[in-house]
Amino acid sequence: MTADELTGRLAELAVDFGANLQPGQLLFVQAEPAHAPLVRAAAAAAYRRGATFVDAFYFDPWVKRARIAYAADDTLEYVPPWYSERILALGEQRCARLWITGSSAPDLFDDLDAARAGRDLLPRLKETGKIVNDRTTNWTIVPYPTPAWAAKVHPDLDGEAFATLTDELAHVLRLDEPDPVAAWHGRFRDTNSAAARLTERRFDALRFHGAGTDLTIGLLPSSRWAAATFETVDGIEHKPNLPSEEVFTTPDPKRADGHVTATKPLVFADGSAVRGLRVRFEDGRAVQIDADEGVDNLRMRVAKDEGGAFLGEVALVDREGRIGPLGTVFYDTLLDENAASHIALGSGFGFAVEDDADKGRVNSSGIHVDFMIGGDDVDVSGITRDGDEVPVLRGGAWQI
């Protein structure tokens, strides 16, 4: 598939199916300058669908690099108030949102102080977590290829890297299907079915066990498993992640014990990365965070608030999706987290628990950092209220 073909088909999928833009809505698009072709195609798709206005917001990682390199130390956490006001207004006015990923400058921050990089969370804003939990916007995130990103993912392919990444994205987005929407409906039937089975079992905890990993994560009594099919408070169904192969829930933030080794690099929204991540938990808290590279970046983010050291999400991914079988490390969390089971430090999802008492126990934080801990060689078991251990995933295949 050519880049132009991908752009056109992805714009329609993202606007019509992913965000499910409604006539009369405003569409907010967040992207890097290199994503401009998709932003323009999405704007055209949105206006054809009846959008009132398309607001394109560009985050330039090179501008952030300048800030990390040269700004005064006591200004690195400053965020202009209108950034936060803008996000909250999107929820108040019931807007649609599209976030485009795919780094235009991988490794851009590698030679800078990782601790300084970790103090500036942009383009992430803590208010985004609020409108997600309030379910006031219909939204989606999609990846878009850039030459620099392609070279990072496929360094040995030289002139073929961009075409290869484009084809891979078309495949995992199911844009190579005659009817991508029908193909996604089929996959979501499977993931929603898996989520329903997990919810029915009401496990007390999950255990991840494999090389470098032995971690038990407690669940809340009313933790509800979900797939990436969301509905706003106004009843608009949308798909927050495309592609999405996961089922997830919100765990008990006070019950995580053991150690875990990440199975893929952790890459933040700004493109900075943590490699070789290892975390030890006691009574829910991440008490030790180590890594081969970039560890201070994550440590600074976790230290932003009290909830940053506790878990807000646990997600399971089977081997039936399209990302994992490729064997490609994409260095993009949207894709890599849908190739392997993962957990997230920081904010949880109130809508992923059913009882009001449990909603009050969901972790609260200004961060939400996903990192991958699963793979075919990592066993996942459910622990019942009676303490029995039940196989859930073996070799990436569902056992329930």
C-beta of residue 161 within 8 angstroms of C-beta of residue 151: yes
Tell whether the model's pLDDT for residue 142 goes beyond 90: yes
359-383: pLDDT as tens digits: 999 999 999 999 999 999 999 999 9
Q: Using CA of residue 43, residue 49, residue 55, residue 59, what is the dihedral sign? A: negative
pLDDT the model gives residue 302 = 96
Q: Rounded to the nearest 5°, which phi and psi values hold at 126? A: -65, -25
- Among 250-259, 278-287, 354-363, the range scoring the smallest mean pLDDT is 354-363
pLDDT the model gives residue 86 = 97
CA–CA separation, 84 and 101 (whole Å): 20
CA–CA separation, 141 and 183 (whole Å): 18
91-97-102-104 Cα dihedral, nearest 10 degrees: -80
Token reading at 282 = 């006691």
Tell whether the model's pLDDT for residue 271 goes beyond 90: no
Tell whether the model's pLDDT for residue 307 goes beyond 90: yes
- Domain architecture of the chain: domains with CATH: 3-180 (3.40.1830.10), 201-398 (no CATH)
User: What is the percent of the chain with per-residue pLDDT over 70, rounded to a whole number?
Assistant: 100
> What is the average pLDDT across 295-305?
95
Tell whether the model's pLDDT for residue 158 goes beyond 90: no
Looking at every residue in the chain, the average pLDDT score rounds to: 96
Strands 26-31 and 96-101: parallel
CA–CA separation, 379 and 251 (whole Å): 18
**Number of neighbouring beta carbons within 10 Å of residue 282:** 12
DSSP 222-272: TB--EES-EE-TT--EE-SBSS--EEEE-EEEEEEEEEEE-SS-EE-TTS-
- In this structure, what DSSP letter does residue 293 have? B
User: What is the percent of the chain with per-residue pLDDT over 90, rounded to a whole number?
Assistant: 94
CA distances from 164 to 9, 146, 154, 158, 277 (A): 17, 11, 8, 10, 28
pLDDT the model gives residue 93 = 98
Residue 267 binned pLDDT confidence (cut-offs 50, 70, 90): very high
